[in-house]
Chain A
Amino acid sequence: MSVSKINMAALVRSSFGLFKNSILNTAIRSLSTSKPLNIKEIREHKEGTKLVVEAVSLPSPRKDLLVRADNIDLPSSNCEHESSVKEPCYMCALGLDVKHTDVLILSQFVRSDGCMLPRRITGLCRRQQKKIGKMVSMAQKAGLMINLTPAWCKKDPKKRKDYKKFNTYFDEKTIFWKRIPDQNDKWKR
């Protein structure tokens, strides 16, 4: 059986943890496999005389909303990537021209305290990780993601001091990254 089993003791402990959480209502969660996190669900069913309790990992809540380039036939979809060896990351494959004002996209890469998620979690390529990280900080400096900004910041620009209290916009061209040499460049075969 591929589904991981939890023995009885752990179950008791977890249920006790659940109980404690519900009473104390703290932000600290004692066990990550419990129901409030929606990562795994505890199911129990009987096989003959045996009672089997198992934790089944649930599909992500974002699953239905996920957009992937494989599912859409994009017009002239990334001919340059096909020739290259590496598979492009999902952001490269979508080919969106994201700007720092697209807060609905940028907020997906951000923790609830406003920190950018690391690359092992976002699964982006280096370029995209750097670009999106820079754009997140641009959006936070411009005061476009107030609810997703570190707590130590003056969140609302109107409450900031001096030059920080006026509106600022950013140019995405100022984000620096290494130029990838074009494969079709006629001088470098």
Chain B
Amino acid sequence: MSAFKRVQQWATFARTWHVFDCKWQDPYDSAQVIKKYLMGLHKPIYHPTNDCGDVVVCINSRDIALRGDEWRKRAYFHHTGYPGGASWTLAWELHNKDPTMIIRKAIYRSMKGNLQRRHTMERLFIFPGEDVPQDIMQNVTNQIRQLRLVPTRLDHIPEEEVQKYPKVMDYPQDYVLK
């Protein structure tokens, strides 16, 4: 193998590091996207036997958003193995204990349960906030696009912009503003 061919081989199978911002994202929907990057399904060279998965760094996992009443309706099951050892933890309780756990479990469960899954999960880093260690962040060369738009709060929009924004509703003739 010539030197050029060897470098070509390295380039093709090089691992890319991706960053994903979890702010206002549904963990179960974004797990379907992150999974593809972790397993290497987004690459044209993908094959189940070649090791072409990428590394994904999830940030702001504390700010994930669940749909509707899922914070109090979704339960996570755990059994210690002893009689009476079953426990059900609600999503908001789990998120209180460990803000990275919900997204990690979502990604873990989105993948098929084979021997490769544990090793694929090793390539996933999750951070509850913005601050990521420098030795991880310096490898990142790509960003995965979010699924949902991050909504803007009304009190964060400047007052004059709210005033100038076109209106659809007009008050009736003698309506007294409250």
B2 within 8 A of A: no
A153 contacts the other chain (CB 8 A): no
Closest to B176 in A: A32
Q: In the assembled complex, which residues on chain A have CB atoms less than 8 Å from the CB atom of B151?
A: 101, 103, 142, 144, 169
Q: A37: which of B24, B169, B170, B177 is its contact (CB, 8 Å)? A: B177
Are B154 and A146 closer than 8 Å at their CB atoms? yes
Cβ contact within 8 Å between B63 and A66: no
Interface check B64, CB cutoff 8 A: yes
Interface residues of A in 15-64 (CB under 8 A from B): 29, 32, 37, 39, 57, 60, 62-63
Proximity string of chain A (99-118) to chain B, C-beta cutoff 8 Å, 1 when within and 0 when not: 00101110111011100000
B161 to chain A, nearest CB (A): 8
A146 and B164 form a contact (CB under 8 A): no
Nearest chain A CB to B154's CB is how many angstroms away? 4
* A106 nearest CB neighbor, chain B only: B154
Contacts of B174 in A (CB 8 A): 32, 39, 57
Nearest A residue (CB) for B92: A163
B-side contacts of A111, CB under 8 Å: 178
Nearest residue in B to A32 (C-beta to C-beta)? B176
| B112 on interface, CB distance cutoff 8 Å | no
| Contact of B66 (CB < 8 Å), options: A94, A120, A162, A168 | A168
A122 touches B165 (CB 8 A): no
Q: Mark B69-89, 1 if CB is under 8 A from A, else 0.
A: 011100000000000000000
Residues of B within 8 A of A135 (CB): none
Q: Which residues of A, 130-154, contact B by the 8 Å Cβ criterion? A: 142-148
Where chain B touches its partner, the secondary structure class is loop
A121 to chain B, nearest CB (A): 6
Q: Closest chain B residue to A165 by CB distance? A: B92
Other-chain contact of B165, A32, A65, A120, A164 (Cβ < 8 Å): A65
The reply on A88 being an interface residue by CB < 8 A is no
A170 interfacial contact with B, CB 8 Å: yes
Contacting residue for A144 out of B154, B171, B175, CB 8 A: B154
A167 part of interface (Cβ distance < 8 Å): yes
Interface status of A166 (Cβ within 8 A of chain B): yes
Contact across chains for B167 and A67 when beta carbons are under 8 A apart: yes
| Interface pair A168/B169, CB less than 8 Å apart | no
Interface residue? B122 (CB, 8 A): no
- Ordered by A's residue number, 30 sampled pairs between the chains whose C-beta atoms are within 8 Å are A37-B176, A60-B170, A62-B167, A62-B169, A63-B170, A65-B165, A66-B166, A101-B151, A103-B157, A104-B154, A105-B168, A107-B162, A108-B167, A112-B177, A112-B178, A113-B178, A121-B172, A144-B153, A147-B154, A162-B72, A163-B90, A163-B92, A166-B64, A166-B92, A166-B95, A167-B65, A167-B66, A168-B65, A169-B66, A170-B67
